[in-house]
Amino acid sequence: MKTPLLAAAALLVLASFPAAAQLPGGVIVVTAEQVEQIRQSARATQASANPARPSVNAPIISVPPGTPPYALNLEHRNAKAPASQHPATAEIVMVLDGAGTIITGGTLVNPITAANGNISGSDIAGGTVLHAMKGDIVFVPQQTPHQMIPDAGGTLVLATLHVPRTAEPAPVAGKPPATPKLVNRAADLPAMTEKARAAVATSPRFFGGDTILALPPYRMGLEYRSPKGIASVHKNDAEYMYVLEGEGVIVAGGTVVNPKDTGANIDGDAISGGTDIRMKKGDWIFVPKGVPHIAKSDGAFVLATLHVF
């Protein structure tokens, strides 16, 4: 529980960060410019902190009340902070800017368990060391110690998202277990994008795709969107989309035209009465489950997409 003084300070810090645009149906949009404002506000908060704070967190997207807690946060790090281990959530870590070391695995040094079950430690012994740069993305499984340390004299700016995960999902009859993919390098994205672009011409789904990260049941996919697109309603999951390259339009809300129930989704030819949202590189959008949406390009439009359950 926060004391009144600490609670007031927390509200003052949150008030300094730009608010996301919330649209009908709980759709949330945050532009690249707003993310940069959040970053600069976090940097200023960190620079003025006394005592010094090695890391400052700020919300990018806080999902509406009544939906699962898939909050997307920005972390501005300029020094070594404690290591962490989350027993009930996995964590996606995207490097927005800067460079540093991401250590995963091993054992926490001097572990301390918080009231919420999360564990922190002063260091990690025996972990796997990855030097990460802008555009790199890492998926940290639950119960895995991890620590993010900026390069000496620099900063490490991250977008982080926790997703519920306490065990491996139950196997599906007749299907082999999905192979986890826990690291994707920015240097690999151009080849992945070209592969997806080439697949668009023959894709029945009106986009070409590839896997960025995978930790079942979660998968972050790269999607190269075509001009037509296909309308969808996800019955069981919400969706995050991040624009990697290009520009396009995401239509959200309204009603699906010629709906077809495919089981987990309702697909259709178009959307009637939705809101057109023009998006460009660096923009984020969160679409809650049950909300019709369609992504269309008028050129190159490359998305990183993640369904959250």
Are 32 and 114 in a shared domain?
A: yes
Q: Which residue ranges in the chain fall short of pLDDT 50?
A: 1-15
What SS3 class is residue 5?
A: helix
* Structural domain contains residue 31: yes
Joined together, the tokens standing for residue 216 give 């079942």
Summary count for the chain: helices (H), strands (E): 3, 26
Burial class (CB in 10 A: 0-12, 13-18, 19+), 203: middle
Are 189 and 157 in a shared domain?
A: no
* Structural domain contains residue 14: no
pLDDT (0 to 100) of residue 1: 32
Q: What is the DSSP string of 220-235?
A: EEEEEE-SS--EEEES
* Structural domain contains residue 278: yes
Measuring CA to CA, which residue among 91, 203, 199 is closest to residue 147? 91
Domains in the chain, number: 2
Residue with tokens 């368990």: 113
Are 31 and 99 in a shared domain?
A: yes
Encode pLDDT of 292-302 as tens digits: 999 988 788 99
* Structural domain contains residue 170: no
What SS3 class is residue 215?
A: strand
pLDDT (0 to 100) of residue 5: 30
Cis peptide before 51 (omega within 30 of 0): yes
Domain extent at residue 24: 19-46+54-164
Are 28 and 149 in a shared domain?
A: yes
* Structural domain contains residue 68: yes
Are 243 and 281 in a shared domain?
A: yes
Which CATH number covers residue 302? 2.60.120.10
Are 221 and 150 in a shared domain?
A: no
Residue with tokens 């139950």: 170
Residue 245 has phi, psi (to 5 degrees) of -150, 150
Are 202 and 292 in a shared domain?
A: yes
* Structural domain contains residue 2: no
pLDDT (0 to 100) of residue 4: 34
pLDDT (0 to 100) of residue 270: 92
pLDDT (0 to 100) of residue 67: 65
Measuring CA to CA, which residue among 173, 174, 193, 171 is closest to residue 184? 193
